[in-house]
Amino acid sequence: MSGLEIAAVAISFLAIWLTARRNMFCWPLNLVACALYFKLFLDVRLYADMALQAVFGLGILYGWIVWSRGRADSGTVVVMPLSRRKALAGLGLGALGALAIGWFTSRHTDAALPWLDATLSSFSLVAQYWTARRHRENWLLWIAVDIVYVGMFVFKGLMPTAGLYAVMIGLAIMGYRDWRRTERAPSSG
């Protein structure tokens, strides 16, 4: 456990909690958390997750813009439905990404867990995109991914990060419930 990991955990927790609450301050905090985890994952040779943080940085900027434009007159971020076709396309792209990243990192790096790391990273990108697009289903994918992440981080000895991901499962459940209730509510404005 390092000071870097503790800072990354604390900032990530706050950022995810704000995301579940549909609060715009989640985006700058998520950027800081990305930078901290980029360095941490570099240090422990989880290269796909390290690269994921860089891509997340771009996704966070995208999400910040989309959320800024996707608010009701009250300022509340509006939740959007995800069609079955788009959901299947996203999951298919996640699987293809996992294969591509896993193949590359297993053959061209000294990655500690190339296939697992690649799979989690790829599906995290799908979940991040769904979050940016304001689809409540993002939380279901985050729950699945985070459950597996907990095990991977325990295996790598990153106990505070494993604890964060365990808590993030609870935050994702909270986010899903809140976003589901909001999506069903009549829109204002």
Can you spell out the DSSP letters for the chain? --HHHHHHHHHHHHHHHHHHTT-TTHHHHHHHHHHHHHHHHHHTT-HHHHHHHHHHHHHHHHHHHHHHHSB-TTSPBPPB---HHHHHHHHHHHHHHHHHHHHHHHHHS--SSHHHHHHHHHHHHHHHHHHHTTBTTHHHHHHHHHHHHHHHHHHTT-HHHHHHHHHHHHHHHHHHHHHHHHHHSPPP-
* Predicted local confidence at residue 19, as pLDDT: 92
pLDDT in tens, 106-157: 999 888 899 999 999 999 999 999 999 999 999 999 999 999 999 999 998 9
pLDDT class for 186, splitting at 50, 70, 90? low
Domains of the chain by residue range: 3-70+87-184
Asked whether the predicted pLDDT for residue 189 surpasses 50, the reply is no
pTM of the predicted model, to two decimals?
Answer: 0.84
* Predicted local confidence at residue 90, as pLDDT: 98
Question: Comparing 68 with 184, which gets the higher pLDDT?
Answer: 68
pLDDT in tens, 68-96: 887 777 778 889 999 999 999 999 999 99
